[in-house]
Chains A and B, each alone.
Chain A
Amino acid sequence: MEPTSEAELADLISSAKAPLCIRGGGTRLLGPIEGEVLETSGLQGISLYESGALTMVAGAGTTLDEIGAALKAENQRLAFEPPDLRDVLGTTGASTIGGVAASNASGSRRISVGACRDFMLGVRFVDGAGIVAKNGGRVMKNVTGYDLVKLMSGAFGTLGVLSEVSLKVMPKVEMQLCLRIEGLNAKQAVAAMSAALGSPFEVSGAAQALDGAVVLRLEGFDASVRYRADKLTQVLAGFGTVEMLDDQAQCDTLWRDIRDARGFTGSTGDLWRVSVKPSDAPELIDTLGAHAVLLDWGGGLMWVDMPKRADLRARMSVPGHATLMRSDDKGFEQVARFHPEAAPLAKISAELRARFDPKGILNPGLMGDVA
């Protein structure tokens, strides 16, 4: 099913009696979902773009490519840099802004500017009963009523199918520089990243790549970036030799690979995405028995390549949560994709799902039980 209008989407959902597999472009799928496919790609088009107000409103099915092209023409960008997961998840198709919003897809700049949800100004959606509702709007500051925008962002379609999103966009930066330190273990790497992120020098990316190198990104006006790079090099002197990369294309590629976890493309293990307090990451790495780990967000985001069927959560010794991103069908059958919540939160989430999806048809089973 590919509705071409919000009204058609509402009709389809209100008359549906069986589970639906909700997707935008299908590039961020976390394993198989039972049900007839309902794609939002027909809800297409940018309906408003005011570059002077840093605001864009687009149909949920609008592709990231189209949005990127419109932004580029005004020298702007999505500051939360949504990852492109096609390579690593082995999916094809065109990512949509609705899919980005529904999965709260946030890249390396999460640690400085915020996540996708922090840039979402408003949503329109159709709930599981076929009722159309909106929340938020298209202005930067809005506390009028409850913030369902946040609730819908990251709900993976289980509370409603997004039909339109409005976003805060940001100006592109003049340039970027990367600092690189080799030869650090995870504990030293997190310490170095913490020192950088705890400085006044506005680091917009802090990762330990699969080759073990710690990389830090600085962005802005040329003179400012160079000044901060010098200062930061002094801050990090105790951690090893600090190499500076200023080839823009090389920096782009480096951060694209980290953002998209490309190093795990074609690897044979189960791929997990783990969110923890950064200083807990090294200890966790010691207990996981993983094939390989990529640290982003200063250590707070771990991409973990685990032996097949090894339940990473059973080995988690620290607070946080883990999402199973990639496995085979059997793996997805055996292990819940999302981290089981503590009982009182699981109850609230299940009741929310029952209320917003009374027929239990929106990506059922993807995120957890329905009350």
Chain B
Amino acid sequence: MTAVAPIQDDLFTADVIADPYAYYGRLREQDPVHWNEKYDLWVVTRYDDLVWLTRHHELFSSAVFKNDPRPAYPAIDESDLGLYEYVKNYQGDQFIQHDRPEHLEMRRVMHGYFTPKSMEAWRPFVQAAVKELLDAAEEKGSMDVMRDLATPLPVLVIAEMMGVPREDRPYIRQLAEKLLYIGRGEYDRMKPLTEGMRGMIEYVSPLVDRRIVDPGDDFISVLARGEKQGVFTRHEVLVNPSLLLLAGHETTINLLCNGTLSFIRHPDQWALLKQDPAGAAKRATEECLRYDSPVVSIQRIASQDVELRDKVLRKGDRLRWFISSANRDPEAFANPTTFDITRHPNPHVAFGSGTHHCLGATLARVEGQEVFKALAERFPSLQVEADGLDYQPSITFRSLKSLPITWH
């Protein structure tokens, strides 16, 4: 027997939430395919395994809500079990919660809207939005990066993509805040979450009705076309804008906040970015995505028995692969704990890999590049104005609660 402390399985303790790298890093070293007793869950932490898993979609179902009969975890209020059924039906109809062949058909409806070329066309809009938000911050002399920059920016972009009028944007932001509860651990999270979901359906329904008969070049029209082609049911059309709002929002806010914090904590890299903001922003954004990844982990259900290292995952088993641990795997990256904005190549898996590789990856990259470039061009030095920083209690997202900063 060795005297190694046993691995504790509560993934929502304060220390694991504050520093996932220590906890999952230890798992990666000692038990890379770990059975988590507490949550009935395989925890996969090595880079190679993550890439292999993501590219063998036929072995691991993405239809998690439809194929997982187990209760919500962490536990929810018992009186909210009915609401959880609503959440399962809602989430289950989003296109990412499907496997081939349906997933491919659904993705193809939307894929063309998100190609690198089409997303590049959004760069001027993103630049203008960043400028507007930073102008307001500069006038104030300080900002909460989360509240004043990271949260409004992606919502502005997504609202524009959905064809939402300007005056409705605050309402969309409110709904987005409620949708964020999907990735959290609060006991009473089902109520705000379902309010956000129902609110989105109510808001989007008339837009869809209009776009069915009078299509434009917005994202709702793309979904409406999918319904006319027989790929989507109406419910599937109505739940996908929430996916765009949530996936394009929760992930991007974390890229922007975690990236800004990485620069504040590594003044040498900030100085390097400032030397050539336009030239360095691209690789710097990739390193921000790797170093403190917006998404911590992704869940699947084994579709059949699968051998992985010395373990056997049984059909129906639940598993999560940990992006934040894979992106710091020393087998895949030299000096993985070093924040190095010149790192190249940088084959991080912040956007996953395989058939489910993030549909909005290029948009997130454009937003990251434009924000880090603008911050470096406008602000000589950044400081955190808080005694400590707290993260949301989530094992899906690496999400700061706030990031108050000043500059000189």
Tell whether A pairs with B: no
